[in-house]
Amino acid sequence: MDADVSRGARTFALVLFGQFISLVGSSLTGFALGVWVYERTGSTTEYALISFFITVPGLLMSPVAGALVDRWTAAGR
């Protein structure tokens, strides 16, 4: 029993770490894209628009995705 819990905890920690690395990579990519646009154009407005359009999809999709996953998980029980 303890071995199963330990293996499950280790798997969860590995997936959590992978998600963290993915989130950091995505955030750095979005920031680098904004900096690249600013360096090419010199426009803070375009930098702000790039930052906005990188952030908004995640903010809009997170609640919807969470609700869908909760419904899908409950239906599978």
Q: What pLDDT, in 10s, does the model give residues 60-76?
A: 998 898 888 888 876 66
pLDDT over threshold 60, residue 1: no
The residue to which tokens 């010199």 are assigned: 42
Please, what's the b/e burial string for 12-34 (b: 16 or more CB within 10 A of its CB; e: otherwise)? eeeeeeeeeeeeeeeeeebeeeb
Report in angstroms the alpha-carbon separations of 41 from 14, 36, 44: 41, 9, 9
Q: What backbone torsions phi and psi does residue 65 show, to the nearest 5 degrees? A: -65, -40
pLDDT digits (tens, 9 = 90+) for 4-50: 778 888 999 999 999 999 999 999 999 999 999 999 999 999 999 99
Q: Using the 8-state DSSP alphabet, how is residue 76 labeled?
A: T
> What tokens were used for 7?
């293996």
